[in-house]
């Protein structure tokens, strides 16, 4: 240890004051004072325990017992906490053990006491727990379900409004996309999904809420983005209004990234870089309890369904009445027009009779609703659509 000749106590007190100001990192301060980080943490810890009195030299008699954690391991635990200030001792130890499984790391409880002694444990927040997984079955493999949402907006330091778009694989918790978009518009969302599909392949289903860009208030609830998903053979899962717990894993992830909104970057480009650094750390470094303290990247695999060069045409049965949606969003049916959706203008939809004699509309495999023949309009049904006659005949 090297302290300047101005007085050991003065130097130690000046070091602690500069450390508590937070203007420089521990590494930078220790280099400036020509001491090791271990020594720096020691004096900072003593000051936090007993104030200025803790900066006096203590008797040199051994205080360690046979089960004390080695100083080198203590320093590495503290350094890992410094690198990941939002992680608790459980995640820190899982990360260190994964990196060096043969090292004699202490128990999680011991690591917690080490961090507490160094003043690196804050007040524990109440843990948010997701309730259930909605009305859908659990995903059985990666890419069975992707979840997507827009995180609440914030402004970067130059005033740009950021509406983060987040996309995650439901099974592996792999963060596929964390994009610094400026709005919830379709034209900003689609390039993000197009790139994710090209990089990772197609999911079977995408789960979202009922807001833009995923859904609209129209009778079909379709947006241009949703139409693109359907044409690629991706089924839509929409949570019920007012029930965010049906997308609970994604909501829980938004709490994990909440500190990023509290520390915005200088501008859009800087925010995008920060998001990508966070995504890499979340996928490759951060242990996840639901994955046995593995990182999501250890469980995710790309989809076996590649992104097609052109979207396939719908495969409607010959007995279905196929109608082209007009530019005004309506189709011609039995001498009159029935409004479907302006979003589907130019697209072919199928009209099929059910076993109960009702008429149902669908776009590719996505149900649009039933025809109210009394008022000649398309309506939604809360119950699951009945099987069309053609589907029943095919199944038999």
Sequence ranges of the domains in the chain: 8-117, 145-298, 321-395
Q: Which of these ranges, 18-27, 212-221, 272-281, has the smallest mean pLDDT?
A: 18-27
Q: Is the dihedral of CA 158, 283, 201, 350 positive or negative?
A: negative
For tokens 């079909």, name the residue.
220
Non-local (6+) Cβ contacts of 283 within 8 A are 174, 175, 295, 296, 297, 300
Partners of 362 in the β-ladder = 350, 367
Average pLDDT in the 209-220 region? 90
Q: What angle do CA 225, 227, 231 make, to 5 degrees?
A: 120
Give the integer Cα–Cα distance in Å for 45 and 50. 9
Phi, psi of 369 (to 5 degrees): 145, -170
Give the integer Cα–Cα distance in Å for 238 and 207. 6
Q: Which of these ranges, 221-235, 285-299, 355-369, has the smallest mean pLDDT?
A: 285-299
Confidence of residue 134 (pLDDT cuts 50, 70, 90): low
Taking 80 as the threshold, does the pLDDT of residue 199 lie above it? yes
In the prediction, which pLDDT does 124 show? Answer: 54
Give the integer Cα–Cα distance in Å for 71 and 105. 12
Structure token digits, residue 347: 């697209």
Q: Which run of H or E residues covers position 148?
A: strand 145-150
Taking 60 as the threshold, does the pLDDT of residue 393 lie above it? no
In the prediction, which pLDDT does 286 show? Answer: 87
Taking 50 as the threshold, does the pLDDT of residue 100 lie above it? yes
Of 205, 206, 212, 210, which is closest to residue 243 (Cα–Cα)? 210
Q: What is the pLDDT of residues 302-352, one digit of tens each?
A: 999 999 999 999 999 999 999 999 999 999 999 999 999 999 999 999 999
Pairing of strands 366-372, 154-155: unpaired
Phi, psi of 342 (to 5 degrees): -65, -25
The count of other CB atoms within 10 Å of the CB of residue 140 is: 9
Non-local (6+) Cβ contacts of 179 within 8 A are 164, 165, 166, 192, 272, 275
Phi, psi of 72 (to 5 degrees): -65, -40
Give the integer Cα–Cα distance in Å for 97 and 91. 10
Taking 60 as the threshold, does the pLDDT of residue 111 lie above it? yes
- Quick one: what percent of the chain has pLDDT higher than 90? 47
Question: Fold for domain 145-298?
Answer: Nucleotidyltransferase; domain 5 (3.30.420)
In the prediction, which pLDDT does 50 show? Answer: 80
Structure token digits, residue 259: 């500190």
Q: What is the pLDDT of residues 52-84, one digit of tens each?
A: 777 877 765 555 555 667 788 888 888 877 777
Taking 90 as the threshold, does the pLDDT of residue 208 lie above it? yes
Q: Report the length, in residues, of the chain.
A: 396
Give the integer Cα–Cα distance in Å for 84 and 79. 9
Which is higher by pLDDT, 63 or 250?
A: 250
Q: What angle do CA 70, 71, 73 make, to 5 degrees?
A: 70
Non-local (6+) Cβ contacts of 23 within 8 A are none
Non-local (6+) Cβ contacts of 253 within 8 A are 166, 168, 173, 175
For tokens 């990234």, name the residue.
257
Write out the DSSP string of 274-287. HHHHHHHHHHHT--
- Contacts made by residues 377-382, CB under 8 angstroms, sequence distance 24+: 377/338, 377/339, 378/219, 378/220, 378/338, 378/339, 378/340, 379/219, 380/219
Integer-rounded Cα radius of gyration of the chain: 29
Q: What is the pLDDT of residues 353-386, one digit of tens each?
A: 988 889 999 999 999 999 998 899 999 864 444 5
Partners of 148 in the β-ladder = 167
In the prediction, which pLDDT does 296 show? Answer: 93
Q: What is the pLDDT of residues 7-26, one digit of tens each?
A: 777 888 888 888 887 788 88
In the prediction, which pLDDT does 68 show? Answer: 67
Pairing of strands 348-353, 359-363: antiparallel
- Quick one: what percent of the chain has pLDDT higher than 70? 88
């Amino acid at each position: 240890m090297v302290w300047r000749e101005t007085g050991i106590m003065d130097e130690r007190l000046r070091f602690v004051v500069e450390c508590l100001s937070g203007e420089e990192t521990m590494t930078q301060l220790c280099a400036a004072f020509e001491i090791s980080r271990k020594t720096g943490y020691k004096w900072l810890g003593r000051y936090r325990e007993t104030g200025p009195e803790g900066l006096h030299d203590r008797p040199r008699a051994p205080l360690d017992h046979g089960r004390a954690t080695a100083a080198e391991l203590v320093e590495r635990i503290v350094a890992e906490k410094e690198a990941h200030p939002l992680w608790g001792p459980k995640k820190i130890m899982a990360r260190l053990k994964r990196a060096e499984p043969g090292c004699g790391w202490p128990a999680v409880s011991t690591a917690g006491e080490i961090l507490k002694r160094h003043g690196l444990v804050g007040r524990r927040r109440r843990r948010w727990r997701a309730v259930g997984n909605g009305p859908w079955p659990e995903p059985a493999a990666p890419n069975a379900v992707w979840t997507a949402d827009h995180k609440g907006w914030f402004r970067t330091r130059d005033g740009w409004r950021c509406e983060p778009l987040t996309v995650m694989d439901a099974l592996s918790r792999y963060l596929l996309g964390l994009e610094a978009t400026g709005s919830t518009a379709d034209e900003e969302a689609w390039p993000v999904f197009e790139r994710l599909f090209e990089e990772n392949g197609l999911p079977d289903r995408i789960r979202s809420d009922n807001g833009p860009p995923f859904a609209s208030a129209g009778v079909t609830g379709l947006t241009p983005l949703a139409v693109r998903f359907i044409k690629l053979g991706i089924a839509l899962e929409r949570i019920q209004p007012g029930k965010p717990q049906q997308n609970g894993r994604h909501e829980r992830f938004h709490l994990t990234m909440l500190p990023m909104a509290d520390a915005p970057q200088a501008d859009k480009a800087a925010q995008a870089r920060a998001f990508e650094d966070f995504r890499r750390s979340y996928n490759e470094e951060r242990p996840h309890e639901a994955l046995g303290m593995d990182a999501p990247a250890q469980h995710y695999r790309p989809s076996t369904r590649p992104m097609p060069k052109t979207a396939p045409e719908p495969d409607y049965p010959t007995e279905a009445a196929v109608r082209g949606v007009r530019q005004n969003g309506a189709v011609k049916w039995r001498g009159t027009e029935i409004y479907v959706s302006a979003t589907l203008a130019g697209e072919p939809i199928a009209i099929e009779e059910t076993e109960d004699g009702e008429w149902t509309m669908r776009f590719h495999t996505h149900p649009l609703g039933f025809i109210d023949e009394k008022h000649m309009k398309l309506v939604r049904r809360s119950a699951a659509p009945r099987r069309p006659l053609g589907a029943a005949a095919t199944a038999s």
